[in-house]
A and B are shown apart, each in its own frame.
Chain A
Amino acid sequence: MKRAAALSALLTLSLAAAQKTATIGWSGAITGPTSDAGASYAAGVEDYCRYAVSQNTLPGIKLNCVVRDDQYNNANTQRNFEDYVGNMNASAFLGYSTGGTLQLKSTIQEVKVPTLPGSYHIGNVDGADSQYIFLPISSYSEQLVSLVEYVAKKDRGAKIALVVNPSPFGRAPVDDVRKAAQRLGVQIVDVQEVGGNNLDNTALLKRFESAGVKYVLNQNTAGPVANILKDAKRLNLLGKMQFMGAHYTGGEDLTRLAGDAANNFIWATSYYMFDEADKPGIQLVKKIGAANNRKPDTIRSVHYTSGMLAASIAIEAIRRSKDPSAAGVYKGITSMTGSRAFNPGFTVGPVTFSAKDHIGAESLRLLQADSTGNFKAITGAQRSAIFPLVHPLK
């Protein structure tokens, strides 16, 4: 009996030793600038990995997800990436910031580790050294160009101001928005950089008002946008100006921070909303969030869903290729095309990638905040008609 138990234990140990390991590393801002989005994103990555392990999504493969704070500091991102790739033999890297991803582009190309950034900057997947980088959803540029198209349809010739974060993340879509505005017959009259320390926006808004600005497009995180909206409400400008923004500006975070000043804010994103309870992806988000005892604010945040999407793509790629190496992940990701598109249910369209297509869920919707603090779709799932002309991918 004792011998049988010993043999059984030995067999279990041998099987465990033979099991392959897939390491997925995330590096992003759990603290520091933009951590209002990054903390929830990290939680989404972590929780989806736990879920995949609990579901035995990768039979015979041990999934090791590592989540590290880089404080939105590119040097820390680089250090984390080098540790994941050099010491942990990572299968995939889940990035976060625009600056960090751009800085790592040539290294990623060299080490051939598939990377899914939280930054949706088109420059991540455009030009040289882009072979191993994949955007989970539509780019910031396409999101903002879609908003410019919306404005142009309603109000040709309208004056638009662009308010962006003072970082590569904020500046990423500026050129594309300018080009789109020119083609669509609207004017970009001002581009201003506003960061998280915007205690008072009176001067900014009053200057916009005196310049006849009717639409303010934001490329930022929810915190600075909430402060602008609260000041616009105080200055009675909410009826005179329509505020809009790309993915990281909106969602539950914005309505929680800005309160009723967020009413009517128009937001472009590819994700389903927390209150769309009939969507299987959202049901899964709620289930996983509850299982991990996350705070309601975290679960409601769209960035929690975003983190899950990035993790789910990497894990699905390993599942498809049955190979936890970086090459296997690349093979798995680029197989998500046509009838083999991946649809985890988090986004309004399926995730499609190929060797040439590096943008996952390309469809997006425009949504508008209502008085209950929820965002309701004002368009169906769509793609910008003009964006491919404004920014043809090389």
Chain B
Amino acid sequence: MNLDLLPQLLLAGVVIGSIYALAALGFVLIYKSSRVINFAHGQVIATGAFIAFALTQSGMNFWLAGLLAMLATFALGMLIERVFLRRMVGEPIISVIMVTIGLASVVDGLLHLTPYGAGNFSFTTPAALSGAGIDLLGTQLSRVQLAGVLAALALLGGFTYFFNRSTMGITMRAVADDQMAAMSVGTSVERVFALAWAFAGLTAAAAGVILGLMSGLTLTGLAGIGLKVFPVVILGGLDSVLGAIVGGILIGVLENLAAGYLDGLVPGGGTRDVFPFIVLLIVLLLRPYGLFGTKEIERV
């Protein structure tokens, strides 16, 4: 066992884990306010990334394209909630889940109709991110990775503050806690739901653009991230932003440790895709609501 690799593997894990956390944030935002698990999140991530890519292809500045993509998926999230999810308020949770699975198929199909449905694409790295990176703990981090981590942490921090300090954030938590009670004090549950979906769309585009910049854009890859980060939210707790951060980093680190120390022992490797799930199972056996999720107690 080569312990010299350990700091590098940990650092690489933190970097990729931060991106996982950002991608997982959309799940948390929606679940935190409406108790809905959005299985179409990966498709929204892909939509945001491809909107930004299409805009840069038409000559737009990368940063402006990223911003417009975030606004576009903000609007898309709001639209999805208004058209599909609002009608499902009060319906059994399995019906709502089926709607999001159906949405995933529809958005996926629509994306396949665009020029980006097939093939592999890559952003032209903006000048500010294309220079030399930094050397940390014996491993080199590119500017793209650093920017990705910073953007992820800024958004995660911003939403943590939003839910803990802002009136709207506390209102959203109240709606998640008890819709009927929130409605009885005059809270617009519809508005809260719409905002949650819109914010989830916004963070999805940010994750998509960062992922696209780091490792290229493919529809399968980007849409697949939605499911890849699912263990992150289960591990951290579906309704916890802090859980998404810790869960993301934990999964990222576990993946890298497995790839660094176990892949060489297993023919063909690939333990990075399995090992985090083993840890996830163990954690869930001990804490079924995740590391930071709310433990719900029903009194009868």
A residues whose Cβ falls under 8 Å from a Cβ of B: 30-33, 35-36, 38-40, 164, 166, 171, 190-194, 196-200, 202-204, 206-207, 210-211, 221-223, 226-227, 230, 234-236, 253, 256-257, 259, 295, 297
Q: Total interface residues on B, using CB and 8 Å? A: 44
Question: What is the distance, in angstroms, from B106's C-beta to the closest C-beta of chain A?
Answer: 15
Question: What is the distance, in angstroms, from A322's C-beta to the closest C-beta of chain B?
Answer: 36
Which of B115, B117, B220, B270 neighbours the largest number of chain A CB atoms within 10 Å of its CB?
Answer: B220
Tell me if B142 and A203 are in contact (CB < 8 A).
Answer: no
B residues whose Cβ falls under 8 Å from a Cβ of A: 2, 4-5, 8-9, 12, 15-16, 19, 112, 115, 117-120, 122, 125, 133, 139-142, 145, 211, 214-216, 218-221, 224, 228, 256-257, 259-260, 263-264, 267-270, 272
Residues from chain B with Cβ under 8 Å of A203 in the complex:
5, 9, 12, 256-257, 259-260, 263, 272
14 example contacts (A-B, Cβ-Cβ < 8 A) are as follows A35-B118, A35-B119, A35-B218, A36-B120, A193-B268, A196-B221, A198-B215, A199-B214, A203-B5, A207-B2, A223-B120, A226-B120, A257-B216, A259-B122
Tell me if B224 and A197 are in contact (CB < 8 A).
Answer: yes
Tell me if A200 and B216 are in contact (CB < 8 A).
Answer: no
Question: What is the distance, in angstroms, from B61's C-beta to the closest C-beta of chain A?
Answer: 19
Which of B16, B120, B269 neighbours the largest number of chain A CB atoms within 10 Å of its CB?
Answer: B120
Per the bound structure, the CA–CA distance linking A216 and B133 in Å amounts to 24
Given contacts A30-B118, A192-B268, A223-B218, whether A200 and B112 have CB atoms under 8 Å apart is no
Per the bound structure, the CA–CA distance linking A30 and B116 in Å amounts to 11
Per the bound structure, the CA–CA distance linking A238 and B16 in Å amounts to 22
Which residue from chain B places its CB closest to the CB of A254 in the assembled complex? B120
Q: Which of B19, B115, B263 contacts A192 (CB 8 A)?
A: B263
Tell me if A36 and B263 are in contact (CB < 8 A).
Answer: no
Question: What is the distance, in angstroms, from B212's C-beta to the closest C-beta of chain A?
Answer: 11
Question: What is the distance, in angstroms, from A274's C-beta to the closest C-beta of chain B?
Answer: 16
Residues from chain B with Cβ under 8 Å of A193 in the complex:
268-270
Tell me if B122 and A210 are in contact (CB < 8 A).
Answer: no
Residues from chain B with Cβ under 8 Å of A297 in the complex:
119
Which of A30, A31, A199 neighbours the largest number of chain B CB atoms within 10 Å of its CB?
Answer: A199
Which residue from chain B places its CB closest to the CB of A204 in the assembled complex? B259
Per the bound structure, the CA–CA distance linking A158 and B100 in Å amounts to 52
Tell me if B260 and A207 are in contact (CB < 8 A).
Answer: yes
Given contacts A191-B267, A200-B12, whether A206 and B260 have CB atoms under 8 Å apart is yes
A-B pairs, top 4 by smallest CB distance, nearest first, are A203-B259, A36-B120, A202-B12, A39-B118
Per the bound structure, the CA–CA distance linking A70 and B33 in Å amounts to 39
Question: What is the distance, in angstroms, from B168's C-beta to the closest C-beta of chain A?
Answer: 33
Q: Known pairs A192-B270, A196-B221, A199-B16. 8 more at Cβ < 8 A?
A: A38-B118, A193-B269, A199-B215, A203-B259, A204-B259, A211-B264, A227-B216, A257-B122
Residues from chain B with Cβ under 8 Å of A35 in the complex:
118-119, 218, 220
Tell me if B8 and A32 are in contact (CB < 8 A).
Answer: no
Per the bound structure, the CA–CA distance linking A259 and B144 in Å amounts to 15
Question: What is the distance, in angstroms, from A249's C-beta to the closest C-beta of chain B?
Answer: 12
Tell me if A202 and B8 are in contact (CB < 8 A).
Answer: yes
Residues from chain B with Cβ under 8 Å of A204 in the complex:
259, 263, 269
